[in-house]
Amino acid sequence: MAESISNNNIKPLTQWVNLQQPLSFDAYCQAGGYQGAKVALEHSPNDVLDIVKNSGLKGRGGAGFPTGMKWSFVPMFEDGDENAPDNKYLVANADEMEPGTFKDRLLLEGAPHQLVEAMIIAAYTIGANKGYIFLRGEYHLAAKRLQQAIDEAYQNNWLGEKIQGSSYTMDLYVHCSAGRYICGEETALINALEGKRATPRAKPPFPQVSGLFGKPTIVNNVETLCNLPHILKNGIEWFQAIAPNSDAGSKIYGACGRVKKPGLWELPMGPTLREVLYDYAGGMQEGLQFRGLLPGGASTDFLVEEHLDTPMDFDSIAKVGSRLGTGGLIVLDDKNCPVGMVLNLMRFFAQESCGWCTPCRDGTPWAVEVLNRIEQGQGKIQDLDTLAKLCDFMWIGKTHCALAPGAVEPLRSALKYFHDDFLQHIEHGCCHYNLSMTPKRMKVSQASISPLSVKAGQ
């Protein structure tokens, strides 16, 4: 992964990444680490908040909410205020389970000290004395390396009592998740951290006001946090200058699927899809043609050829009907069945539904049932109506959290861009991408027994 990082010079997030052997505390400090935290501790929390606010940093977890704004909802108290809660919490959301996304893993395994430093800055700003890294259960290596970094930070007084002689005290813990996709939702994550069922909470109250154990809590994505040391160290102007024409800062983009060079690349915000797909991922593998892609993980809408010149920032991608999400492309080629791909994704979402609200709990398995029949060549033309209805049924506002609307995004866009594939499955009674299947429903001319052409869906 790290090998494929581009020649681009400004890559603050990944500059210290070493997957073989992450920098030790001393090496990290020598390289310029913990300077951002030092700057932060020299300022008042309010000043740091202003810096983060003005930097224009947006959340890298998928929603793109301005980080400083999120923090500003945390109630701040004077010393000795009777209403002050006994604690506040900072949580790093490292439960990276979005299919096709592996950017946080790079940062967690390659530069654990960077996250520790970032969490000190964030926790200091919001006045939290306890931080948790909610880590995806399968990230064993990351858990080990993070714990090592935390231990080193304790030894060097970057964690614990009175950090670096300041009056600020902070404890940091790694919490290994038991493994549910829904834990990526911040309130479900908090419930899981409390030892409860990982079900998203009702909002309000928002975690900023009443989060972990009922106390003010901020949950930030790993990549978001990792920007902080650099912003503090290098200043707002520097950060905004990284990507002058787009959202501030740099971002880790990735690609997977049948591209020549799947991987991760830290780029200034806003490269076009085409750049990432062809310049960095090297384009499609030999003999395959591009059909479409999910721009930011499994829960985003398909984009196709016509969208390839869209810059990958939050607003531009939204304008063409999808979401930037995590910035990890999942690329679909012309030898794989779009129906099968959507079915596979839908299975994932049905499996990962927390089971709280009806549309998601019972709607996603229903969609799986219908898609499965279509894929098996047993679909009916009415099934397309059922799918359309289910897309509406699980849409935003009708569900308890964003999981089901996210699950619907690839389906509804597939119905739009790959409609002919669906029709062909139903009419021919088979999946033509699956060479072992034969048409059942009707006589099909030899010519049509082949996958649809690249442009067929458009």
Structure tokens at 334: 């012309």
**Site for other proteins contains 204 (CB under 8 A):** yes
Residue 87 found at the interface with other proteins (CB under 8 A): no
Q: What is the chain's alpha carbon radius of gyration, rounded to the nearest angstrom? A: 23
Counting contacts by CB under 8 A, is residue 70 touching other proteins?
no
CA 368 – CA 370 distance, rounded (Å): 5
∠ Cα 107 108 114 (to 5°): 70
Stretch that binds other proteins, among 144-152, 272-280, 335-343, 355-363 (CB under 8 A): 355-363
Residue 148 binds to other proteins (criterion: CB under 8 A)? no
**Count of residues of this chain found to bind other proteins when the rule CB under 8 A is applied:** 38
Q: Which part of the chain contacts other proteins (CB under 8 A), choosing from 43-51, 96-104, 138-146, 206-214?
A: 206-214
Place of tokens 């980080």: 67
At closest approach, how far in Å is the CB of 444 from other proteins?
A: 24
Pairing of strands 328-333, 217-221: unpaired
What are the φ and ψ backbone dihedral angles of 284, each rounded to 5 degrees?
-75, 155
| Residues facing residue 135 across a β-bridge | 94, 176
Task: Give the binding range for other proteins (CB under 8 A) out of 23-31, 51-59, 200-208, 264-272.
Answer: 200-208
CA distance linking residue 437 with residue 446, whole number of Å: 14
427 sits near other proteins (criterion: CB under 8 A)? no
Binds other proteins (CB under 8 A): choice among 314, 356, 418, 433: 356
Closer to other proteins at the Cβ: 71 or 356?
Answer: 356
**Pick 209 or 449: Cβ nearer other proteins:** 209
180 is an interface residue for other proteins by CB under 8 A: yes
Position 435 contacts other proteins (CB under 8 A): no
Check the CA dihedral 351-355-358-362 and report its sign.
positive
347 binds other proteins (CB under 8 A): no
Q: By C-beta, is 71 or 102 nearer to other proteins?
A: 71
- Report the residue from 157, 169, 289, 351 that binds other proteins according to the rule CB under 8 A: 351
201 lies in the binding site for other proteins (CB under 8 A): yes
Q: Are strands 89-94 and 250-257 parallel, antiparallel or unpaired?
A: unpaired
Compute the least distance from the CB of residue 339 to other proteins, in Å. 17
State which of residues 95, 266, 333, 352 lies at the interface with other proteins (CB under 8 A). 352
Structural tokens at position 163: 């950090």
Residue 329 near residue 283 (C-beta atoms within 8 A): no
Cα 332 from Cα 318, distance rounded (Å): 20
Note the Cα 171 to chain centre separation in Å. Answer: 26
Q: Which two tokens mark 300?
A: 């985003």
357 to 416, contacts with other proteins by CB under 8 A? Answer: 357-359, 361-366, 369, 373, 382, 386, 389, 393, 397-400
Let me know how many helices (H) and strands (E) the chain has, helices first.
Answer: 18, 8
Determine, following the binding rule CB under 8 A, whether residue 350 of this chain makes contact with other proteins.
yes
Shorter beta-carbon distance to other proteins: residue 362 or 420 = 362
With contact defined as beta carbons under 8 Å apart, do 222 and 132 qualify?
no
Residue 120 is encoded by which pair of tokens?
Answer: 């000190």
Q: Which residues bind other proteins (CB under 8 A)?
A: 180, 197-198, 201-205, 209-210, 213-214, 350-359, 361-366, 369, 373, 382, 386, 389, 393, 397-400
